[in-house]
Structure 1
């Protein structure tokens, strides 16, 4: 499967429904559509009811009481902001989601240019993703770093948004944009008010209160309920008087319940996305700061969630300072990951900070320079499956400070590239260029979201740790339905030699498979990693940014270096992949062995 076909394999809205491989009847002969229609009908009914209520004349009046009185807190969001980007915004050049909008200078009603930044709200955005970040106010933290002028421009943009979108609309007031806008506005509101007149200060407070109240009325979305309710609670901390007190009184009990669903006992986010766990932790740290400013303090449930999430983020951060790319999460940035601090006094039921060998369905192998994470668990449960990826036994490998082997890093930012959620976009094995789970497409995806359809694989894992060595054997049965074969991945790390040995095995679990099936074992390389195939076509020399070399060797009959893709902030970066191809025997085991070891020489890692 080439790069372009991988990226475009399934696009939401590209009609036709599921691919043929995913349309086989399941569950007693009932088709996927028959199993799906009750969910579609229920979601459509909720959506229609919400549209009728929120769009009704007079609905806005129900959001105005009690009136906002002012601001009582200025919470600090630990996420790093970029002052240089803020300066660019002041010139009227908005760079969001990889696209640019030049706003020019603002003019008064007489057409006289006033020198301020033009309004983006009365013109089309270059891409949908640009519009999402624009309406989320993702530009606000950067603009606030530029001082008083930036605050004045931000205040104008916010108030002009309120004028342009004061009436409810599904996009501007929906799940996709409203929660982050409330969060960003709450963090900046008190500082913005210092640059505002009395009338503008009241308008700003009203705008925050109205949006936060509406946020608590949105239909329940369990997957992101904790993030949404945390934003409303943050607004409650920021607003003074009854407006803030009532928001807090409504939001805090809901947040406690949502955290029990969103944070597993081991601290991993229920979606199993390392990035989702990081972002929720940053939200809770901001809320904790706001509660302290109000003299309230965070309840035990929030403190426990912060502790557990912090330990999980630490465990799923690789030695290059960035997150592992698994299950709908990108690697984030070193600065964003470093912004997460470990609490000085962790809760009594949380172990001290460590990097455990096993956590949240991920297994870690650590040598002197070499570090590996492997995904050994099935994708997330249906309530959190909108960002799940069908990539069992995928691995990420960091050697020194170089991330050599990675995965595509698909996230919801790249919603139009659903094919990158499948096994061919990860460092794992595929059979017949197929997938045992497929993202919904067409109108079903527009109603239910781009969730995966199919039978989730059953996974198993065994581990042994000895003196100077670690061994893992993990397997899954995702390919049994289509090809009658199970996939087992064995990994052995010699700590002294920093040598990783791997073996991928395909075998029928019982009766022989129907026929031979072509397979491919892929190792996607991080952008910037160079790869040179040897003359015997059995070895590949890999070099990362530090210059240290690593040999990748294999006994596969067909070895190739091919184009690949890696995503960061939803933008595609071209890279390479090592692909080992062959055909699986239907009547016995098929094995492919490979090894990663230091090449010697080069710069120190």
Structure 2
């Protein structure tokens, strides 16, 4: 295989491999489409429905506790006849059936069939539990036997989890017939959950939900589900929870949500008198450490690779089991992130390659992206795209984060068309080689990040950061260098590409350009000012968007503009420093 070597020692594959990779992805997509069709035919068949119906459920046992904060106000709104889910609203009246009413959006429908409304209703007290039982009966009447959408991986995993956690509370308000229906539904769906092979990136979460359902069900049916679920869990847990506690998808939010699930499972196993397997306990410890690492000084989680900036209340709930845990380290090398802190500045940087294949369905093509907290205000961030922002895959590209963009392209892209429908929106053509070197000394922290995400235009990006703890400032240099040095290239025809460094602002941050046309003053909620000085050819403040629970909020971005000749390279230097007074 032909390779090119950069000045940094990286070996980059020759361009012809891109066509081979596209062919492999197409082959995988064809196989996935055929497999999905066969699975739909089997799952909808009578023999499969009979297999998941046996053995019959015998009753309820454990009451698994989900540490996620529940919102009783949401349940009370449903009792009043209004159901709001994922940005959509249905006005049902006090006895309306949402499963016999057109949903306002697909996102709403997915959330509805996941039973995302169930924790809030249960938290609203006995009236909420009785209303939940009626809604479950409405669902069972239409979708209880089989439905490709409602029983698909997007919906059934969370539905099994919510049902298992709420079953004992619902049973206290239910008739004997309703309890029998509830336990039968839970057993059938949990068994089906373990048969799903699609969306392999969620395989661990499916195993956890099925095992929790087994803990909630009494007798041998419950024990069998526990044994099957734990077996599936142990096959995957060390692959999905990295040694530093990061999630294999590289999403900080995915790690926190998995931590909630594992804590729920640990509680349920204890109620059943089953010891937690050592890999489960180890994963909980690691995920807790990673949650502390990814929580920044503003109290919110860092937002990378499809994860949003989870708020302090939810983070506190995830860490309540270990309030005095170890102080987080300054690096998560297995996850590919580095954190720098000094003075009143804190920086977290993406220093790893994007995940591959199924693990990349929510990944972003944003190597070397940073988030910066200044005096506990998150001023510099990204667009915060998450899968809740349905269809907005353009926000997964390089220009939607605080990093470098070259030309009109991106350092990677999500699949589209048939391939995306068959496999999911995998990220492809992203950085394949990413290196980070860090040096800590008394006065501050150096961090160098080098990646090949722009190899398709013949360039390597190097981001050099120095956080000066004494001067309370962050200095940065973004350099583009040719991958293959050619002494005669500089004398050839000149070809220029736009070269930009973007700093996306948090919706609560404001920026204005000084009279010199270059320096930018940034202020957050605490009104402390920060100057962003630079040597770019041109500086602009442009509109942007920031996603919060999948909903876009208006924000801005600072764009430092220049040009680069791919045969020669270019650089932009910048500095973020506290404004006097």
TM-score class, shorter-chain normalisation, is: over 0.9
Find out whether 1:575 has 2:576 as its counterpart.
no
For residues 24 and 63 of structure 2, the distance between their equivalents in structure 1, rounded to whole angstroms, comes to 48
Could you tell me whether the CA contact under 8 Å between 1:332 and 1:568 is conserved in 2? no
Mind listing any 5+ residue stretches in structure 1 that lack a counterpart?
1-24, 107-117
Aligned twin of 1:473: 448
3-state SS, counterpart of residue 47 of structure 1: helix
Matched positions, count: 562
Structure 2 vs 1, CA of residues 586 and 191 (structure 1 numbering), >3 Å: closer, same or farther? closer
- Which of 292, 295, 319 matches 1:314? 292
> Structure 1 residue runs of 4+, over 6 Å off?
none
The answer as to whether partners of 1:393 and 1:489 remain within 8 angstroms in 2 is yes
Return the TM-score normalized by structure 1.
0.90
Structure 1 CA distance for aligned equivalents of residues 170 and 461 of structure 2: 56
Select the residue among 430, 435, 448 that pairs with 2:405.
Answer: 430
**Is 1:372–2:361 an aligned residue pair?**
no
Q: Give the corresponding residue for 2:190.
A: 212
Instruction: Report what 2:362 is aligned to.
Output: 387
Which of 552, 559, 564 does residue 584 from structure 1 map onto? 564
SS at match of 1:340: helix
Please point out which of 557, 574, 577 is paired with 1:594: 574
Q: Which residue of 1 aligns with 2:52?
A: 63
Of residues 64, 68, 80, the one that matches 1:91 is 80
Unaligned 5+ segments in structure 2 are: 1-13
TM-score, normalised relative to structure 2:
0.93
Q: Tell me, in whole angstroms, the C-alpha distance in 2 between the residues paired with 1:493 and 1:454.
A: 31
Partners of 2:567 and 2:412 in 1: how far apart?
25
- CA separation of 1:503 and 1:331: change in aligned 2, threshold 3 A: same
**Within 5 A, what are the aligned runs for 1:170-181?**
170-181=148-159
Checking the alignment, whether the CA contact within 8 Å between 1:307 and 1:343 is kept in structure 2 is no
Coordinate RMSD, CA, aligned: 1.9
State the 1:26 CA deviation: 5.1
The structure 1 residue matched to 2:61, chosen from 63, 68, 72, is: 72
For residue 331 of structure 2, the aligned residue among 354, 357, 364 is 357
Equivalent residue number for residue 260 of structure 2 = 282
Q: CA 1:481–1:205 in structure 2 vs 1: closer, same or farther (change >3 Å)?
A: same
In the other structure, the counterpart of 2:427 is: 452
Point out which structure has higher relative CO (alpha carbons under 8 A, 6+ apart).
Answer: 1
CA contact (8 A) 2:413 2:430 kept: no
Counterpart among 506, 520, 533 of residue 540 in structure 1: 520
Contact 2:531–2:577, Cα closer than 8 Å, also in 1:
yes
- Name whichever of 53-62 and 145-154 sits farther off: 53-62
Q: Secondary structure at the match of 2:555?
A: strand
**Separation in 2, partners of 1:487, 1:538:** 23
Deviations, residues 427-482 of structure 1 (Å, cap 9, x unaligned): 00000021132211122211111112225331111111111211111111221222
Q: Tell me, in whole angstroms, the C-alpha distance in 2 between the residues paired with 1:463 and 1:452.
A: 27
> Where in structure 2 are the equivalents of 1:434-513 lying within 5 Å?
434-454=409-429, 456-482=431-457, 484-509=458-483, 510-511=485-486, 512=489
How far off is 1:390 after superposition? 0.6
Maintained 8 Å contact 1:230/1:255 = yes
Which of the numbers 80, 104, 107 marks the counterpart of 2:93? 104
Q: Which residue number in structure 2 is paired with residue 7 of structure 1?
A: none
- Farther off after superposition, 456-465 or 88-97: 456-465
Choose which of 233, 241, 253 in structure 1 pairs with 2:231. 253
The CA deviation at 1:32 is: 5.4
How far is 1:167 from its partner? 2.6
In structure 2, the CA distance between the partners of 1:454 and 1:28, relative to structure 1 (3 Å rule), is closer
